């Protein structure tokens, strides 16, 4: 790689007082305005130089206050209320959503941070205790740290901007310092603020629910505030911590898109505000609702990181930038680039009702099919016969697996079949009916004297307390040191209520939810470091914590508790906007589907699941010989194409939210291998002829259809396209085509 000196450059123009961050694809520009206000000029396609074209017009506006602190020289043509800024204060002349609110000792809530100094350095500073993007060598990126000060508060903030040399990415975060003699309370601190001039704009968000994660919604902004957020203590199924601002004409393959994603797994907030002259502000970070942080003198607070991506190649261009970044510079560890094993998981086959005999029977059937890993799901610990008990008791339920030699015996049997062994945990939770709760009822998050809300009959452990985290660490390592475990499914099945910690003082209760997430990060970090060979998979009642934060520790996540192929088409389609396919696990389930009772063919189920990190979640014993034969073929197909699927370039081609079809494509980085999936959703008695056009091929290359031997040029497949097979019968059918480039 060439050094940043040639590719990523950050400069400060002393005459214009502007900062310019640029690489070969993007530019980010800021300026220091009158009164040392740091203003935002531009984020978008790279420009070679800046000569003042975005200088903000001066214009007198009623009811928009002028700059404070300049008695005798008030400029009525200048107001922070409309000026695009980088880090807006509160109650000091800008009525839009602020980036920071601090409550000082006297109870005032005003903030007004002005430019102080800057530093430019190569590489990227590490954010302690938080997930983050990283660099492997310092010349991959350059960082600009801009210091702003609020002289009245005696506080400063440092805004970090890192630009990667070879990616259309800028990462941002904020650190707040208390330089006064008194403690103050941070009531809100943004990871990123992005002000944008008046322009036609729509926003894409990813709302959902359990079984319906990351549905794609696209809508124009209206004046006022539009917010996408979570107050659940988790990033949540309900609103993924990721938004995209697009031009109304932007499509999957063309047009401009700006993505903003938080590297964080807790409460989040994305506030869009369209102001009274149609300018747009986006502020994102930890959700201010319920948050506050006591900052003692000389202490600092680091916000989570936000990833800003620009694309002028449509939504697919943006997604690919995220896919590469998250795969290459967020995910870590021994499994980061490893082909992920094909799993069989017993959850939907047995639920809690299993014995050594039952599990061994599943294994005996699964191993000859070529499946590579067995995962024992919920129910192996404490007295866990149902979901009303034993969370927190991470020791073996000896009688359940006794006849097979317990967990260790089972792990050895799995290994003897040349398969890997995986185990389910839900470390952050506690059941009322558990030894842990009987010994330490105070470990559950609760407010003394207030009734506690149950959810799935369980409580959340107070992970803001290091000793609680330590207890779970000790219990888990006792199992992991004794049983040869290759994989952990890390589940989390309820959200936070009665948010309070009995060991924090009354001023600190607003810290609990964030401290909890820091506790989770601490535990997973320690476990991942102690057991570097274990493959971790995140899960939260399906894909309720599918975020870049968890990806820093766990390279893959269970995408959804809906294993229905029809629903999965949309869920997986939506997930790929922000997250790489290597992180998205997908299993073939039995029919009628346990969640929807829908019947889809085994072919379709295989095609949907093989578009992610593949596996099965059913009782193989119930399958006919014919079905098992098909499973064998699916497994063999997946092994042949797995590297392309997990690590190739992924393109969305047809949108199942907008049409009766879905299509996506995997292309190897050199353009040689291509895999195309086309799904028809509902059948029709008068079937349309549909055409799928490919993207990302070598235009003049000759591509051979692996199945039929037919040959097509790359530009023919991209510009003319081929008809999809209209003859398939029934709803939710799939067609897969593979091509290779002729020598």
Q: How far is the CB of 624 from ligand DGJ (least distance, A)?
A: 25
3 state SS of 242: strand
User: Counting runs of H as helices and runs of E as strands, what totals does the chain give?
Assistant: 13, 38
Q: How far is the CB of 542 from ligand DGJ (least distance, A)?
A: 5
**Binding residues vs ligand DGJ (CB under 6 A):** 347, 377-378, 424, 491, 493, 539, 541-542, 558, 561
Strands (E), 179-223: 184-196, 202-205, 217-220
Question: Of these residues, 561, 607, 619, 724, which one is catalytic?
Answer: 561
| Cα-Cα end-to-end distance for the chain | 28
Give the residue with the Cβ less far from ligand DGJ, 319 or 493: 493
Distance (Å, whole) CA 200 – CA 204: 14
- Residue 518 main-chain phi, psi, to 5 deg: -65, -35
The neighbour count for residue 385, using CB atoms within 10 Å, is: 13
Distance (Å, whole) CA 50 – CA 399: 72
Q: What is the DSSP letter of 35?
A: G
Give the residue with the Cβ less far from ligand DGJ, 111 or 390: 390
What's 477-544 look like in SS3? Answer: HHHHHHCCCCEEEECCCCCCCCCCCCCCCHHHHHHHHHHHHHHHHHHHHHHHHHCCCCEEEECECEEC
Q: How far is the CB of 351 from ligand DGJ (least distance, A)?
A: 8
Q: Are 275 and 248 in contact (CB under 8 A)?
A: no
Q: Give the residue carrying structure tokens 């291509």.
A: 674
The neighbour count for residue 175, using CB atoms within 10 Å, is: 18
Quote the Cα angle for 197-200-206, to 5°.
100
- Residue 486 main-chain phi, psi, to 5 deg: -105, -15
Active site residue 561: yes
Nearest to 230 by CA among 496, 459, 492, 445: 496
Q: Summarize the chain as % helix, strand, coil (round to 5).
A: 20, 30, 45
Nearest to 315 by CA among 166, 450, 186, 206: 206
Q: How far is the CB of 539 from ligand DGJ (least distance, A)?
A: 5
Cα separations in angstroms, 695 against 323, 591, 655, 666, 722: 17, 34, 15, 10, 13
Question: Of these residues, 462, 491, 547, 564, which one is catalytic?
Answer: 491
Exposed (0-12), middle (13-18) or buried (19+): which is 448, by Cβ within 10 Å? exposed
Q: How far is the CB of 343 from ligand DGJ (least distance, A)?
A: 11
Exposed (0-12), middle (13-18) or buried (19+): which is 119, by Cβ within 10 Å? exposed
Strand duo 487-490 + 458-460: pairing:
unpaired
Distance (Å, whole) CA 394 – CA 477: 10
Nearest to 103 by CA among 309, 270, 293: 293
Give the residue with the Cβ less far from ligand DGJ, 174 or 540: 540
C-beta nearest to ligand DGJ: residue: 378
Active site residue 364: no
Strand order in the sheet with 711-713: 649-654, 661-667, 673-680, 733-741, 702-705, 711-713
Give the residue with the Cβ less far from ligand DGJ, 427 or 542: 542
Give the residue with the Cβ less far from ligand DGJ, 561 or 665: 561
Q: How far is the CB of 555 from ligand DGJ (least distance, A)?
A: 18
Give the residue with the Cβ less far from ligand DGJ, 378 or 665: 378
Alpha helices in 576-671 (DSSP H): 602-609, 625-647
Q: How far is the CB of 551 from ligand DGJ (least distance, A)?
A: 17
Q: Give the residue carrying structure tokens 């036609």.
A: 200
Distance (Å, whole) CA 662 – CA 544: 24
Task: Give me the active site residues, please.
Answer: 491, 561
């Amino acid at each position: 790689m060439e050094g940043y000196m040639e590719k990523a450059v950050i400069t400060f123009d002393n005459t214009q007082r502007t900062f310019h961050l640029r690489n070969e694809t993007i530019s980010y520009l800021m300026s220091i305005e009158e009164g040392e206000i740091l203003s935002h000029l531009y984020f978008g396609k790279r420009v070679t130089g800046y000569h003042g074209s975005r200088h903000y017009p001066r214009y007198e506006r009623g009811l928009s206050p002028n700059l404070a602190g300049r008695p005798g020289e008030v400029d009525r043509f200048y107001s922070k209320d409309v000026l695009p800024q980088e880090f807006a204060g509160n109650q000091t002349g800008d009525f839009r959503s602020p980036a920071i609110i601090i409550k000082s000792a006297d109870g005032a809530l005003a903030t007004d941070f002005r430019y102080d100094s800057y530093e430019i350095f190569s590489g990227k500073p590490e954010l302690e205790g938080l997930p983050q993007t990283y660099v492997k060598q310092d010349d991959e990126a350059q960082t600009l740290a801009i210091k702003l000060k609020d002289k009245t508060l005696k506080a400063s903030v440092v805004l970090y901007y890192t630009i990667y040399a070879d990616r259309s990415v800028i990462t941002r975060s904020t650190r707040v310092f208390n330089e006064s003699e008194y403690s103050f309370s941070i009531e809100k601190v943004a990871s990123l603020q992005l002000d944008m001039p008046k322009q036609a704009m729509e926003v894409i968000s990813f709302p959902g629910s359990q079984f319906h994660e990351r549905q794609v919604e696209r809508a124009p902004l209206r004046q006022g505030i539009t917010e996408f957020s979570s107050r659940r203590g988790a990033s949540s199924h309900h609103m993924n911590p990721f938004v995209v601002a697009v031009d109304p004409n932007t499509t999957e393959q063309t047009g401009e898109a700006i993505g903003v994603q938080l590297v964080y797994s807790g409460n989040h907030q994305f506030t869009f505000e369209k102001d009274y002259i149609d300018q747009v502000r986006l502020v994102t970070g930890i959700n201010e609702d319920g948050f506050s942080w006591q900052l003692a003198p000389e202490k600092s607070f680091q916000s989570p990181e936000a990833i800003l991506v620009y694309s002028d190649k449509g939504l697919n261009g943006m997604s690919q930038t995220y896919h590469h970044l998250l795969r290459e510079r967020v995910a870590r560890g021994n499994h980061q680039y490893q082909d992920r094993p094909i799993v069989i998981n017993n959850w939907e086959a047995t639920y809690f009702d299993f014995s050594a005999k039952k599990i061994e029977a599943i294994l005996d059937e699964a191993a000859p099919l070529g499946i590579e890993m067995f995962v024992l799901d919920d129910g192996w610990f404490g007295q866990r016969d149902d979901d009303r008990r034993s969370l927190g008791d991470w020791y073996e339920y000896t009688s359940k697996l006794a006849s097979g030699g317990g967990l260790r015996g089972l792990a050895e049997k799995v290994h003897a079949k040349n398969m890997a062994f995986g185990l389910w945990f839900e470390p952050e939770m506690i059941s009322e009916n558990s030894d842990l709760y009987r010994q330490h009822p105070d470990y559950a998050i609760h407010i003394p004297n207030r009734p506690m809300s149950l959810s799935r009959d369980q409580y959340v452990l107070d992970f803001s307390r290091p000793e609680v985290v330590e207890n779970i660490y000790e219990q888990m390592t006792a199992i992991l040191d004794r049983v040869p475990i290759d994989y952990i499914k890390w589940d989390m099945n309820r959200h936070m209520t009665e948010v309070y910690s009995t060991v924090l003082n009354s001023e600190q209760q607003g810290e609990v939810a964030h401290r909890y997430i820091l506790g989770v990060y601490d535990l997973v970090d320690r476990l991942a470091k102690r057991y570097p060979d274990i493959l971790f998979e995140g899960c939260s009642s399906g894909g309720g914590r599918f975020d870049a934060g968890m990806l820093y520790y766990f390279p893959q996540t269970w995408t959804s508790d809906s294993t229905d192929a029809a629903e999965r088409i949309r869920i997986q389609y939506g997930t790929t906007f922000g997250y790489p396919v290597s992180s998205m696990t997908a299993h073939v389930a039995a029919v009628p589907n346990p969640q929807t009772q829908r019947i889809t063919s085994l072919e379709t189920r295989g095609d949907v699941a093989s578009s992610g990190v593949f596996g099965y979640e059913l009782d193989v014993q119930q399958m006919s010989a014919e079905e098992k034969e098909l499973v064998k073929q699916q497994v063999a197909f997946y092994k042949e194409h797995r590297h392309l699927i997990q690590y190739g370039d992924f393109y969305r081609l047809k949108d199942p939210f907008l049409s009766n079809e879905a299509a996506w494509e995997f292309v190897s980085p050199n353009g040689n291998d291509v895999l195309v999936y086309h799904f028809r959703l509902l059948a029709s008695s008068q079937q349309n002829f549909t055409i799928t056009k490919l993207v990302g091929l070598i235009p003049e290359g000759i591509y051979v259809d692996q199945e039929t031997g037919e040959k097509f040029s790359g530009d023919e497949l991209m510009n003319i396209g081929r008809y999809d097979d209209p003859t398939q019968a029934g709803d939710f059918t799939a067609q897969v085509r593979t091509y290779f480039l002729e020598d």
